[in-house]
Amino acid sequence: MNQRPVRPGPRPGVLDIAAYVPGRSKAPDGVRLHKLSSNETPLGPSPAAIAAYRDTGSKLDLYPDGSQRQLREAISDTFGLNAERIVCGAGSDDLLYLIAHAFIGPGDEGIYTEHGFAIYPIAIRAAGGIPVVAPERHLTTDVDAILARVSDRTRVVYIANPNNPTGTYLPFDEVRRLHAALPSDVVLVLDAAYAEYVQRNDYESGIELAATAENVVMTRTFSKIHGLAGLRVGWCYAPAGVVDAINRIRGPFNVSAPAIAAGVASLRDRAHIERAAAHNAEWLPRVADAVARLGFTVTPSVANFVLIHFPDTPGRTAADADAFLFERGIVLRRVEAYGLPNALRMTIGTAEANEVTLAALAAFAAQSKAA
């Protein structure tokens, strides 16, 4: 007779998952914090969203609308979409997990790119699947590399477009080429968390493809340009069959009432979103150019952050820069977990935070050169 374990144990594969580690959010004692590690908007949420959030305070004893109807209709009105094909979640991360659990089983494969969002392999493994990594070309999604790794066991392909943490993007003709070559039973997930920041004529978020194809899902979030990261609310647009599968396994109240109210109000405040996009459009090239003039390599970005590369030289490494900045209350994102040990990701912050960070980077460059 086999002896039972002395304590509960997770199913095989769970302990193989490398847990997601968020960026730091504190500065040393007595030092003012400039947090540029989490791609949060420097403008904060819309005042209308804050007011809507506060208005729910007297109704916290009531369950939220499990159908998310008000939020789905607001999204539908904003983007001209069929509300029946929208599903909302506790951030787009929630939806990325739900897609994996709905379509990936033990032994199935999910593909993501070399420096893609860290949640993808976690979601694939959590569903019992096998993560398959496709190399990138110049820190950009490579369609041919993805297609070369498609097998009979492939069920889902995750693409962050723009990509996090590199800031690069895939032109939409390449997205269409990828979709056309994928088997029709493979779900192509287009994670467009940073879509509102992109100002390129050859970019599309994926709405049209998701509207016309049976195997494409586009995910979006309110955590970035809308400034509602603390409420955790996101959405996806998907074919009816995918929507049906997700709705069968999602939590019945997976979006809170305050999140629904704030999301609706934020969508209606277009002026606030436009101001946030304009601020980023002004500062993204300014920051990238200033960092490049200091002698550091910057990956061209279309999102609200830049990836800064440091030399693998003692005293000048990304770890050295991170320690130097942290002492001054400036928190950037370490990206070793993304296979980029010699880089830091810097979010575009307020004008003050950007200037302070650039000045600190200049001081670090001067100090490291002198050493």
- The DSSP secondary structure of 199-217, one letter per residue, reads --TT---SHHHHHH-SSEE
**The pLDDT value given to residue 10:** 80
User: What b/e readout covers 71-103, taking b as 16+ CB neighbours within 10 angstroms?
Assistant: bbebbbeeeebeeebbbbbbbbbbbbbbbbbbb
How far apart, in Å, are the Cα atoms of 325 and each of 9, 172, 330?
A: 41, 37, 5
**The pLDDT value given to residue 18:** 77
In angstroms, the CA 244 to CA 250 distance is: 10
Closest CA to 90 of 226, 195, 230, 193: 230
Residues in Cβ contact with 17 at an 8 Å cutoff, skipping those fewer than 6 apart: 121, 122, 125, 126
Terminal-to-terminal C-alpha distance of the chain: 67
In angstroms, the CA 15 to CA 273 distance is: 41
- 198 in Cβ contact with 169 (< 8 Å): yes
> What are φ and ψ of residue 223, in 5° steps?
-80, -20
Domains of the chain: 21-44+271-370 (3.90.1150.10), 47-268 (3.40.640.10)
**The pLDDT value given to residue 7:** 82
Q: What is the mean pLDDT of residues 249-265?
A: 97
pLDDT per residue over 11-56, tens digit each?
Answer: 887 878 877 777 777 777 777 889 999 999 999 999 999 999 999 9
**CA-angle at 17, arms to 13 and 19, nearest 5°:** 150
Order of strands, edge to edge, in the sheet holding 333-334? Answer: 297-299, 305-309, 343-347, 333-334
pLDDT band at residue 227, thresholds of 50, 70 and 90? very high
Torsion of CA 222, 226, 231, 236, to 10 degrees: -10
pLDDT per residue over 293-312, tens digit each?
Answer: 999 999 999 999 999 999 99
Burial of 65 from C-beta contacts in 10 A (0-12 / 13-18 / 19+): middle
**The pLDDT value given to residue 234:** 98
Residue-by-residue DSSP string for 52-113: HHHHGGGGTTSPP-TT-HHHHHHHHHHHT--GGGEEEESHHHHHHHHHHHHH--TT-EEEEE
In angstroms, the CA 54 to CA 50 distance is: 6
